[in-house]
Amino acid sequence: MAAQVSFSSLILALFFLNVNGEGPVAAIFGYSATNGPEKWGSLRPTYSQCSKGKSQSPINIIKNDSVADGDLKPLIRDYKAANAVLVNNVYNVGINFERSGAAGQLSLDGKNYQLANMHWHSPSEHQINEFSYPLELHLVHQAADGALSVVAILYEDGPEDPFTAKIQDGLTKLAQAGNSSKGVPIGLLDIEPLKEKASEYFTYTGSLTTPPCSENVLWNVLAKVATVSKAQVEALKAPLGEAYKQNSRPIQPLNDRKVSLYKQV
């Protein structure tokens, strides 16, 4: 099912993202008691969905409750190398590309979504059977009509993640620069390691996990959990201020939504 988000909502959603490499903007929301997830809905009128929305993310995915859907198609991710910039978005560390779609696209149910940006959360935002992982990567894709589809990859403790290893030097520079950084150019970045075929994934309709918490976002959570070293998780958190090093939104009610499962036969 296509996810539809208005252009104005998208702009709000990406307001804090440094799409031009011009440095972060101070976020008015956070993860502490004063401006944390429980308060997001009251921080600005445009954030009201954070408290009033009925289809919010992240969620706890119960494997046995997911519904196998034979009509679901595989995730076709046609990624390619593109010039990239590591950015400190204040509330997370992310990667922006020279333009939306420069790094490729996601094709799903006959619709193309251009890869717009990617960012990390620690600990994970989504849970599987109430288990939280140390890291979660979001690859945010946008279609021509403004619809958003996010591919989420969960990571458990283990061997180094090959992709994170590629950007280690850039992460070190970003941490040294602090909040004054205008971003760290990392040149031509090949995201091939993130393209591994997904033989299983969970999908549901949810929201952005940061304000304005806009809904109708199509989530695709890969069932296969990747590995990352503890040192790599710390490197991804190092550029952030203390109040943002733990940057995961609490689990939201599923309400009457269903989680569908794609499983390659």
Choice between 150 and 12, residue whose per-residue pLDDT is larger:
150
Q: What is the mean pLDDT of residues 71-94?
A: 95
> In the prediction, which pLDDT does 251 show?
99
Measured in Å, how far apart are the chain's first and last C-alpha atoms? Answer: 21
Q: How many CB atoms lie within 10 A of CB 172?
A: 14
Number of structural domains found in the chain: 1
In a domain, 23, yes or no: no
Q: What is the mean pLDDT of residues 118-128?
A: 99
Of 239, 193, 244, 200, nearest in space to 27 by CA:
244
| Boundaries of domain holding 122 | 54-263
What mean pLDDT do residues 89-99 have?
A: 95
This prediction has a pTM of: 0.90
Predicted confidence (pLDDT) per residue in 34-64, tens digit: 999 999 999 999 999 999 999 999 999 999 9
Report how far residue 40's alpha carbon sits from residue 232's, in angstroms, rounded to the nearest whole number.
29
Which pLDDT tens digit goes with each residue over 138-176? Answer: 999 999 999 999 999 999 999 999 999 999 999 999 999
265 pLDDT more than 90: no
Domain-located, residue 132: yes
**What are residue 150's DSSP bridge partners?**
140, 219
- Structure confidence at residue 65 (pLDDT): 97
The answer to whether residue 249 is domain-embedded is yes
Q: Is residue 44 part of a domain?
A: no
* Confidence check: pLDDT of 68 > 70: yes
pLDDT tens digit string along 164-218?
Answer: 999 999 999 999 987 666 799 999 999 888 887 789 999 999 999 999 999 999 9
On whether residue 7 sits in a domain, the answer given is no
So what's the pLDDT on residue 198? 84
Q: Are 252 and 104 in contact (CB under 8 A)?
A: no
9: in domain: no
C-alpha closest to that of 243 among 92, 54, 24, 83: 92
Confidence of residue 27 (pLDDT cuts 50, 70, 90): low
pLDDT above 60: residue 85 = yes
CB 148 within 8 A of CB 142: yes
Instruction: Inform me whether the pLDDT recorded for 123 exceeds 90.
Output: yes
pLDDT at residue 15 in the model? 37
pLDDT band at 109 (very low <50, low <70, confident <90, very high): confident
> In this structure, what token pair is assigned to residue 198?
């997904």
Average pLDDT estimate for 2-15: 38
Q: What is the pLDDT of residue 100?
A: 85
pLDDT mean over 18-46: 76
pLDDT for position 181:
66
Q: Indicate which CATH number applies to the domain containing 123.
A: 3.10.200.10
Tens digit of each residue's pLDDT (9 = 90 or more) over 207-254: 999 999 999 999 999 999 999 999 999 999 999 999 999 999 999 999
Q: Which residue has the tokens 């950084």?
A: 181
Nearest alpha carbon to residue 94 among 3, 6, 33, 27: 27
Alpha-carbon distance 48 to 42, whole Å? 7
pLDDT at res. 182: 76
**The pair of three-digit structure tokens given for residue 59, joined into one six-digit string:** 């969620």
pLDDT at 223: 97
pLDDT at 1 over 60: no
User: Domain for residue 184, yes or no?
Assistant: yes
> DSSP letters of 41-56?
HHH-GGGTHHHH-SS-
Is 147 contained in some domain?
yes
